[in-house]
Amino acid sequence: MRFRYSFFIFFVLSFVIVAQAQESEEITVDELTAHIKYLASDELEGRKPGTLGGKLAAEYIRNELKKNSIKLLGEDGFQNFDVLKGIEVGEGTKFLIGEKELEFSKDYSLFPISSEGDAISSTVFCGYGFSIDEENLNWNDYKDIDVTGKWVIVLRGAPIDSTGRFENYSALRKKALTAKDNGAAGIIFVSGLQFDPDDELVELDNSRESNVGIPVLQLKRNVLDEIFTEFEISVEQMEAFYAENLAPYSIALDIPFDISVKIKKLTDKTQNIIAIVEGSDPILKDEYIIIGAHYDHLGMGGPGSGSRRPDTIDVHNGADDNASGSAAILEIIEKIQANASEFKRSIIFVAFAAEEMGLLGSKYFTENPPVPLEKIKFMINLDMVGRLNEEDKSISIGGTGTAVGLPELINDVLNSYEMKATLSPEGFGPSDHASFYAKDIPVMFLFTGIHDDYHTPEDDWDKLNFEGEKLVSDFAYSIIERISNLDLSLVYQEAGPKERSSETRKFKVTLGIMPDVAASDSRGLRVDGVIKDRPAFYAGMKKGDVIISMDGKEVGDIYDYMNRLSSFKQGQRITVEVLRGEEKVILIVEL
């Protein structure tokens, strides 16, 4: 009996040893393929944060780390945080006109930018809700009419006009902010016949946009027409009047509106996955190199998901974006763990969540680092590394100017690889390394290029170049090894503009800042970087300042900031109020 038992134990142990031997400590095509096949499988339904597929992907990555005995950080490897997935109408929401109560989703709805609020007040119809004072265009729907504490009704869009001069003033958020600036209790939008013949109500699903600070509602056209009957006009007639006259005309309505808006925020829990291989040097092990990649994708797609085919509901597998990067860093950290004695500095592995929602995972990590942020000396990010061109083997490397001597180091390592590289010095980019660059940490971004399948259901595993991905992964390993063993850590330097897409050419002016793009419940816009020799720089703005108003107008978030910015002119002098710690500071900015 003992012999049988001993033989059974020997057999089991032999099986385990054989099974473990099948997993190479080297970076292999077979293991990269296996990781990507699972992460990009239909079973995971696009790995959207907060979904079962997203959680399964996180658990898979964590289990792979455990399998290779890599030390987990956080809560058993997870760094949990909440993401806003949308809002819905809350209990207690009501809309009464006189004694008649309207029905939600039949007579009225809420826009995603709405905040909570309530008021019983008279109402003012303010045309298109414009407040324009330009050299060649003047239109103020609020002139000579008091809307303080009142509900404001405005038409969506703009008068029919071939010049397109109203384009910068037609956005919902801009109109809502204009109403707020004039003291309105809230704003109610109505779709004119020309704007939307079907007069469809908006839906709140799948929205993560921040609110403007006042209630923002939509009212059906027929309801406003009933109110207009007393004035012997209609929405269609007012729409035609504005198109013909291109001039404001506002009407004080004596009918009281009793409105209460309650908002229920819908959140999902997601997680970064974090682990560490401790360095071998007794001193340098307290310095850290981050190797990261995001593992989330777009789920089933649909409107607001980021899909390039928003009308198609289908699994967006995201094999290249970014199962490829996730698989690569799993293989790289496995090899680092097997050769830990060869790395003087410690290596932290991070699989980021919610990158597709605005770099939320990396932003959360840099705001809540598991080690002192100043001890993080370098970050390398792999995002879309699965389609290396088989002919020229060309890779894009970003962030090469973010540290002194980094280009020379990269080129020296490249000499050992049959691979071409295009080096880009800028530290900012549309992926998770930008969150580290914002914290003055040198970064590197590896990327094999965009393709037609990007953000579509066609980004599947069988279109990847796995041999090419192994080459990129080996190169990344060599870079990490070289930087880990430098006698002195890399010295950060600013590399190129730190601007986000919020300051595009459609604006007449820019401040020259890097805004914080991550969603936040706090009011104001945090400045993550100030560009040298630009207006904000000369005004004395500093990294970490929180912009709370521009020219006396409140700034609640990046959307408010963009709308405020679009109204200024080149050469204009404005005041910008910032919070600097607990202190309010007013800056004079020459645009």
Report the 3 state secondary structure along 48-79: CCCCHHHHHHHHHHHHHHHHCCCEECCECCEE
- Of 436, 468, 484, the position where a domain reaches its end is 484
**In this predicted model, what pLDDT tens digit does every residue of 146-179 receive, in sequence order?**
999 999 999 999 998 767 788 788 989 999 999 9
Amino acid at 100: K
Let me know whether 75 and 174 are in one domain.
Answer: no
Average pLDDT for the chain:
90
Closest CA to 284 of 407, 152, 164, 377: 377
Let me know whether 304 and 398 are in one domain.
Answer: yes
Report the alpha-carbon distance of residue 27 to residue 169 in Å, rounded. Answer: 54
Let me know whether 393 and 460 are in one domain.
Answer: yes
Q: Per DSSP, which regions of 415-504 are E strands?
A: 420-424, 443-447
Angstrom distances, CA of residue 209 to CA of 123, 206, 501: 27, 9, 16
pLDDT score of 14: 41
> Contact, 130 vs 166, CB < 8 A?
yes
pLDDT above 70 as % of the chain:
92
Amino acid at 472: V
Return the CATH number at 120.
3.50.30.30
Report the alpha-carbon distance of residue 488 to residue 505 in Å, rounded. Answer: 41
Let me know whether 146 and 34 are in one domain.
Answer: no
501: in domain: no
Q: What is the mean pLDDT of residues 25-32?
A: 96
Structure tokens at 198: 């079907």
What is the per-residue DSSP string for 328-367?
HHHHHHHHHHHTGGG-SSEEEEEEES-STTTSHHHHHHHH
Q: Identify the burial level of 22 via C-beta atoms within 10 angstroms of its C-beta, where 0-12 means exposed, 13-18 middle and 19 or more buried.
A: exposed
Q: Is the predicted pLDDT of residue 102 greater than 70, yes or no?
A: yes
Tell me how many helices (H) and strands (E) the chain has.
13, 25
Structure tokens at 184: 């309105």
Per-residue confidence at 206, pLDDT binned at 50, 70, 90? low
> Contact, 332 vs 341, CB < 8 A?
no
Q: What is the mean pLDDT of residues 8-12?
A: 40
Q: Is the predicted pLDDT of residue 420 greater than 50, yes or no?
A: yes
360: in domain: yes
Let me know whether 317 and 229 are in one domain.
Answer: no
3-class SS string, 480-519? HHHHHCCCCCCCECCCCCCCCCCCCCCCCCCCCEEECCCC
Return the CATH number at 575.
2.30.42.10
Per-residue confidence at 205, pLDDT binned at 50, 70, 90? low
Closest CA to 90 of 265, 267, 266, 263: 263
How many other C-beta atoms are found inside a 10 Å radius of the C-beta of residue 548? 17
- φ/ψ of residue 228, rounded to 5: -70, -20
Q: Is the predicted pLDDT of residue 506 greater than 70, yes or no?
A: no
As beta bridge partners, residue 396 has 422, 447
> Contact, 294 vs 103, CB < 8 A?
no
Please state whether the peptide bond connecting residue 322 to the residue before it is cis, i.e. omega within 30 degrees of 0.
yes
Report the alpha-carbon distance of residue 557 to residue 458 in Å, rounded. Answer: 35
Let me know whether 220 and 96 are in one domain.
Answer: yes
Report the alpha-carbon distance of residue 46 to residue 565 in Å, rounded. Answer: 36
- In our burial notation (b when 16+ CB lie closer than 10 A, e otherwise), range 485-523 reads ebeebbebebbbbbbbebbeeebebbbbbbbbbbbbeee
202: in domain: yes
Per-residue confidence at 296, pLDDT binned at 50, 70, 90? very high
Angstrom distances, CA of residue 430 to CA of 304, 445, 450, 498, 543: 18, 10, 12, 12, 20
pLDDT score of 572: 82
Report helix, strand or coil for 471. Answer: helix
> Contact, 207 vs 304, CB < 8 A?
yes
The DSSP element (H or E) to which 83 belongs, if any, is strand 78-89
> Contact, 127 vs 238, CB < 8 A?
yes
Domain limits for position 323:
25-85+267-484
Let me know whether 206 and 251 are in one domain.
Answer: yes
pLDDT score of 219: 98
- Of 230, 261, 292, the position where a domain reaches its end is 261
The DSSP element (H or E) to which 253 belongs, if any, is strand 251-261
Let me know whether 248 and 316 are in one domain.
Answer: no
Let me know whether 69 and 105 are in one domain.
Answer: no
Let me know whether 147 and 201 are in one domain.
Answer: yes
In sequence order, which residues have a C-beta less than 8 Å from that of residue 113 and are 6 or more positions away?
172, 173, 176, 209, 210, 211, 212, 216, 559
- φ/ψ of residue 507, rounded to 5: -85, 140
Let me know whether 146 and 172 are in one domain.
Answer: yes
Report the alpha-carbon distance of residue 246 to residue 56 in Å, rounded. Answer: 57
Per-residue confidence at 566, pLDDT binned at 50, 70, 90? confident
What's the total number of domains in the chain?
Answer: 3
- Of 220, 244, 261, the position where a domain reaches its end is 261
Supply the Cα-derived Rg of the chain in whole angstroms: 28
508: in domain: no
15: in domain: no
Q: What is the mean pLDDT of residues 363-386?
A: 97
Report helix, strand or coil for 380. Answer: strand
448: in domain: yes
Report the alpha-carbon distance of residue 426 to residue 494 in Å, rounded. Answer: 8
3: in domain: no
Sheet strand arrangement including 108-110 = 100-101, 94-97, 251-261, 117-125, 151-155, 186-190, 216-219, 108-110
Report the alpha-carbon distance of residue 425 to residue 283 in Å, rounded. Answer: 30
287: in domain: yes
Return the CATH number at 398.
3.40.630.10
Q: Is the predicted pLDDT of residue 423 greater than 50, yes or no?
A: yes
pTM, to two decimals: 0.74
Q: Which of 8-22, 105-119, 185-199, 210-224 is predicted least confidently? A: 8-22
Q: Which single residue is written with the structure tokens 């009918």? A: 255
Let me know whether 300 and 213 are in one domain.
Answer: no
